Amino acid sequence: MAGSSRTRIGVFSGILSAAVLPLVGSDARADRDANGLQATTQCNTLSVHYALAARLRLEDTPFGAGNGVYDIGPGSLDLRLTRGGPGAPVKVDLLSYAMRDRFTVESNVLFIHAKIETHTETRVAPDERGVAATGTLRGSEVDWSTTVRGYRADGTVHCEGSGCGFSGVPPSGTTPLHIGPGPVKFERLVFGSSTFDTVQMDFTKVAHTEMPRQTAFVTFAGRKMTEQCLDK
């Protein structure tokens, strides 16, 4: 059986310049002190806010007709980096993550056609300390020691065509869509410079659903917009 899919979302919504994409490679490295923060800073706790662009990869769609990679975004990411004591690594806390998911899948299998428009907002749920996940900075990479807390997507899905309502395809018309909340284990974050100007994450599995039937993976690239030293 043959299938096709496409997206009508503009490439990364103009949030990031072409210099950021393709995504920064995992071999990116930068000179840092023993604790991982740039050697020139006197800040022990740094808060960094990023604007994100992202791609969504869908697998396991009905008959494979919706499988593909779709541009989504814009989004945002907030991190807090805390220098440890002598010889200790830098602790990284994920404070917030948000992504706007707007994409269209058009699939054709034999004489069955479906056009599916998804409009959702993804966010996470920090704990009482304001932390959604915790990791450790090693060189230019963040290894997560916990899952991301309360990862969820909420919005609507709209389906048009003869294939709506069959084999894991949403019903005709607009219906609510709620995915999660649940834990998600992010892949490593990779910083592109010693001043944390850019960040990227490889494809991470974020959801598997039966309606619509699909497995979703997300990758993102970000540019630093603001930073703040939190030392008192």
pLDDT, tens digit, 9 for 90 and up, residues 145-196: 999 999 999 999 999 999 999 889 999 999 999 999 999 999 999 999 888 9
What's the token pair of residue 52? 């994100």
Give the confidence band of 25 by pLDDT, cuts at 50, 70, 90. Answer: very low
- For 16, phi then psi, to 5°, come to -115, 150
Give the confidence band of 42 by pLDDT, cuts at 50, 70, 90. Answer: confident
Residue 206 to residue 212: CA distance in whole angstroms? 14
Look at strands 112-123 and 45-59 and give their pairing: unpaired
For the chain, give every domain's residue range.
11-229
Q: Looking at the predicted structure, is the pLDDT value of residue 206 above 50?
A: yes
23 touches 191 (CB < 8 A): no
- Distance of alpha carbon 144 from its chain centroid, rounded? 15
3-state secondary structure of 203: strand
For the whole model, what pTM was predicted?
A: 0.83
Residue 20 is given by DSSP the state T
| Contacts for 7 with CB less than 8 Å, ≥ 6 apart | 68, 70, 71, 103, 104, 105
Residue 229's closest CA among 42, 67, 69? 42
- 162-175 per-position pLDDT tens digit: 999 988 999 999 99
Beta strands in the chain (DSSP E): 45-59, 68-82, 90-109, 112-123, 133-138, 141-144, 148-160, 173-184, 189-191, 198-210, 213-229
118 touches 103 (CB < 8 A): yes
- Angle (CA) 176-180-186 rounded to 5° is 130
Residue 14 is given by DSSP the state G
Give the CA-trace dihedral at 104, 107, 112, 116, to 10 degrees: -20
157 touches 164 (CB < 8 A): no
How many CB atoms are located within 10 Å of the residue 22 CB? 8
53 touches 220 (CB < 8 A): yes
Q: Is the dihedral of CA 90, 94, 100, 101 positive or negative?
A: positive
> How many residues does the structure list for the chain?
232
- Position 194 scores a pLDDT of 84
